[in-house]
Amino acid sequence: MKALLGTVMDIRGIKENAAVLIEDRWIYDVIPGDRIGEYDVDEIFGGKDYLIIPGLINAHTHVAMTKFRGLGDDMPLNAWLNDLIWPMEREWSREEIRKWALIGLMEAVSNGSTTVNDHYFLADEIARAAQEIGVRAFIGQTVMDLVDFPLAEPGEGFKFFKRWKNNGLITPTLAPHATDTVSFSLLEEIRNFAEKENALIHIHLSQSREEVRKVRKREGLYPVEYLQKAGILNSRLIAAHGVYLKEKEIKLFARSGATLAHCPTSLAKLEGAVAPTVTLWNLGANIALGNDCAASNNSLDMIEEMKMAAILNKVKAGPDKIGARDVFYWATLGGARALDIKAGMIEKDYLADLVLINMRKPHFLPRGNPMSHLVYAAKGSDVERVFINGELIYSLGEFPKIKTSLFSL
């Protein structure tokens, strides 16, 4: 049995001088630290000045796009996608996807992500990279039929799903690209398949004004209405962005049980916009947090994302509307609820996906409130060790399961 010692914090509160016991892939128990001698513990991590949090859940990402970091930084979204990113994406080889997915996953995990929800082409390679590092990964093969894009051939999404069903830490999803690039008939086909397989659907929603305009012109509907008409607006849907939702769409979305994967850094940078998360949250919508990709973010750091989420919502909706606890929920339980996994809390019989943060640093003083410090003062680089499924996956700059060095990739 392993034990993590320190201040234990999840959405319900804080336990000082506590120990989290890990057996196999589960949290065996959470006990006062001084009772650790009563258990058969063979490895102890952390101690005084350590913070233990649930692994962060990156609810929307494209890890392989790490290759495009720093390219076209300040272009408008449509020009960036159509003129820069998509031409490069047509050139992907399997080896390149796998290499950059692994680099992206290393970055995400080292900054505290234990689960990613990825949406991309050649998804088998993303899944193999995820297996290599040992991260919990939900992966969908991106499909679209209204844009000519060979890597996004619709049938491949279903084939990928079947290939990766029941595969340990990998859970396949269905990943229609966006409301403007996927036809109604393909969405219906995806819905039927998802119902049969109890699959999650992961899509981009109202990411740009252009997307909203195209859907209105083609379908006579707003994007959320389009998802509803296709029968996929329910608790099995994770929709990224939702920046341009109208009031009636916000109400419809909040009632549906679907999750908004909020990517505040990426959309502030690409569109200069913030999704209406405060209104959605107040109406009871589930919200999860995502980094999107290193091409638009430009990092895969969920700790930084929590701060951006809190700060940008203050700019949009007022300084007292969203606090550290709300965004910590989005980054933990909100994601776990979206993906239907027993994670996001530090509790007996929850998955042992845990992050150990070293607080022996000036920016954690005075000790004060760890929830505030985690969201507003901590950095991804404060993460010292990451446990996924009970296993030590990241430890002091190293990835024990990966044989090659990051810089020789």
Closest C-alpha among 51, 127, 66 to residue 385:
51
* Nearer to Zn ion among residue 64 and residue 186 (C-beta): 64
* Nearer to Zn ion among residue 63 and residue 402 (C-beta): 63
User: Smallest gap, in angstroms, from Cβ of residue 60 to Zn ion?
Assistant: 6
Residue with the closest Cβ to Zn ion?
292
Count of residues touching Zn ion (by CB under 5 A): 1
List the interface residues with Zn ion, window 133-192 (CB under 5 A): none
User: Smallest gap, in angstroms, from Cβ of residue 31 to Zn ion?
Assistant: 41
Helix or strand run (H / E) with residue 76: none
Tell me 334's DSSP state.
I
User: Smallest gap, in angstroms, from Cβ of residue 119 to Zn ion?
Assistant: 6
**Category of 130 on φ-ψ map: left (φ > 0), alpha (ψ -120 to 50) or beta:** alpha
Tell me 122's DSSP state.
S
Show the site string, 285-324: x = touches Zn ion by CB under 5 A, - = not.
-------x--------------------------------
* Nearer to Zn ion among residue 300 and residue 359 (C-beta): 300
- Residue 120 corresponds to which amino acid? Y
User: Smallest gap, in angstroms, from Cβ of residue 134 to Zn ion?
Assistant: 24
User: Smallest gap, in angstroms, from Cβ of residue 292 to Zn ion?
Assistant: 5
- State the Cα–Cα distance between residues 135 and 151, nearest whole angstrom: 25
User: Smallest gap, in angstroms, from Cβ of residue 61 to Zn ion?
Assistant: 7
Residues with Cβ within 8 Å of 368's Cβ and at least 6 positions away in sequence, in order, are none
Token look-up 């300040």 returns: 74
For 128, the token pair is: 């193999």
Q: What is each CA distance from 80 to 77, 101, 209, in whole angstroms? A: 5, 21, 14
* Nearer to Zn ion among residue 116 and residue 354 (C-beta): 116
* Nearer to Zn ion among residue 180 and residue 292 (C-beta): 292
User: Smallest gap, in angstroms, from Cβ of residue 215 to Zn ion?
Assistant: 17
Helix or strand run (H / E) with residue 370: helix 370-372
* Nearer to Zn ion among residue 292 and residue 353 (C-beta): 292
* Nearer to Zn ion among residue 132 and residue 292 (C-beta): 292
User: Smallest gap, in angstroms, from Cβ of residue 290 to Zn ion?
Assistant: 8
List the interface residues with Zn ion, window 235-294 (CB under 5 A): 292
- State the Cα–Cα distance between residues 66 and 217, nearest whole angstrom: 34
The stretches of 169-259 forming alpha helices (DSSP H) are: 184-197, 209-219, 223-229, 247-256
- The three-class DSSP label of residue 19 is strand
* Nearer to Zn ion among residue 89 and residue 292 (C-beta): 292
Contacts 24+ apart (CB under 8 A), 360-369: 360/49
Footprint on this chain of Zn ion (rule: CB under 5 A): 292
